[in-house]
Amino acid sequence: MKVVVDAFGGDNAPLEIVEGVVLAIEKNKDLSVILTGKKQEIENILNGRTERIEIVDADEVITNNDKPTEAIRHKTNSSLVKAYDILKEREDVVGLVSAGSTGAVLAGAIMKIGRIKGISRPALAPILPTKLDSDVIIIDSGANIDCKPINLLHFALMGSAYYSIIYNKANPKVALLSNGIEEEKGNELVKESHSLLKNAPINFIGNREGGDFMSGEVDVMVADGFAGNALLKGTEGAVGAVLSLLKKSIKSHTLSKIGALFMKKTFKELKERIDILKKHAGSPLLGCKKLVVKNHGSCRRYNICASIEQTMLLHKNNLVEKIEKSLEALEKVNNND
C-alpha cells in the first residue's frame, strides 16, 4: 500500500516528518511511501534508509502566511502541491499525509482531489479522550466556520463512518452539540439540524451539552466548525490548566513533592490518557474522494507514523465507500418519507 507524505509541512519538518515515515516503514511491511520535498535534505535525513521510500523533488514550501487557494494554484513546485498531484494522478497511492497549513491542505483537497458526490463541506474530526475508556471525536473542529443544517447532517454521517472504523464499533453514538439536551434547545442551526439527524441512518442519541463531551456517553459530537473549535480548544485548555495548577501546587509543598514521587505511575497513566492528541494520528479530511490526513503543525514523528497507519486502516476499511453508502442510505430514507 502506497501513501504520499508532504515532507515539508509543519513546524518540525522535514526531520520529524521523515523520521515518522521511517518508523511507519519499519512497522508495516506492506507499506511504501513517496516523500515530496527538497530531495537533498530528505536524503540526508534518511541516510541510506531508503527501502520502500521514494523521493519526489519539490523545492518550494507553502507556509501559514500563504493564501491557501493562491498557494495551491501557483506554488506548483511545492511539497504539498506535488503530493496532491501524485495522490490525484497515481491510482496506487491511497492517501496523503501532511502537517502543513490547514487552509492549504483543505484548499488542495478540494481543488485537486474533489469532494465525495453530495458532500459540499469536508470536515476535520480530531480525537479526544473521555473520562471512561472510550475516546470521542468532534466534527467539525474548525474547517467550516459558518455552516448550514445539511453540513451538520453530513458531518454526522461521516463522523459515524469514521468512528466505526477506527474503533471497530458498529453504530457509534452520535450527538448534536447544544445548550441543553432537550430537543427544542439550541440555536437556529441546531434546531434545524436536529430534525435532519433524527431521520438519518445513524445512531443519533440527541442533543448533548459541552459538559457531556468527555463524559464517555458520546462517540461522535457534531457541531459547526465555530462552536466545535471553541469546545475542542476550550477542552484542551482546561485539561492543560488543571495540570498546570496541580504542578504548581506540588512544587510549593515539600510533602506534596514527596507524594508526587510515589505517584509516578499515576501521573504517567494520566499523561498517556490525556495526551492522546499528542501521540495520535491527525484528523482525516472527511468528505474527500481520496484519503487526506491533516496533522497538527507541531506534530512529531510518532504522529506522522500514526497518521500513515491510520491512512492504511481507513483505506483497508473503505472509508470513502462507507461515506458514499451512508449518503445513499440517507437518500433512501428521504425518498421513503
Catalog residues that contact a second copy under the rule CB under 8 A.
Answer: 129-131, 142, 145-146, 177, 179, 186-188, 190, 209-215, 223-227, 229-246, 249-250, 253, 255-256, 258-266, 269-270, 273-274
User: Which residues make Cβ contacts (< 8 Å) with residue 198, sequence separation at least 6?
Assistant: 204
Q: Could you tell me the smallest distance in angstroms from the CB atom of residue 295 to a second copy?
A: 18
User: Which residues make Cβ contacts (< 8 Å) with residue 190, sequence separation at least 6?
Assistant: 152, 176, 177, 178, 207
What the block records as the C-alpha cell of 57 is: 523533488
User: What distance in Å separates the CA atoms of residue 234 and residue 248, rounded to the nearest whole number?
Assistant: 21
Q: Could you tell me the smallest distance in angstroms from the CB atom of residue 147 to a second copy?
A: 9
Closest CB to a second copy among residues 245, 333: 245
User: What distance in Å separates the CA atoms of residue 82 and residue 66, rounded to the nearest whole number?
Assistant: 16
Q: Could you tell me the smallest distance in angstroms from the CB atom of residue 89 to a second copy?
A: 33
Closest CB to a second copy among residues 6, 140: 140
Q: Could you tell me the smallest distance in angstroms from the CB atom of residue 236 to a second copy?
A: 6
What the block records as the C-alpha cell of 182 is: 432537550
What the block records as the C-alpha cell of 2 is: 502506497
Closest CB to a second copy among residues 227, 299: 227
Q: Could you tell me the smallest distance in angstroms from the CB atom of residue 327 to a second copy?
A: 26
CA distances from 327 to 74, 85, 321 (A): 34, 27, 10
Closest CB to a second copy among residues 130, 295: 130
Strand partners, 123: 286
Closest CB to a second copy among residues 205, 330: 205
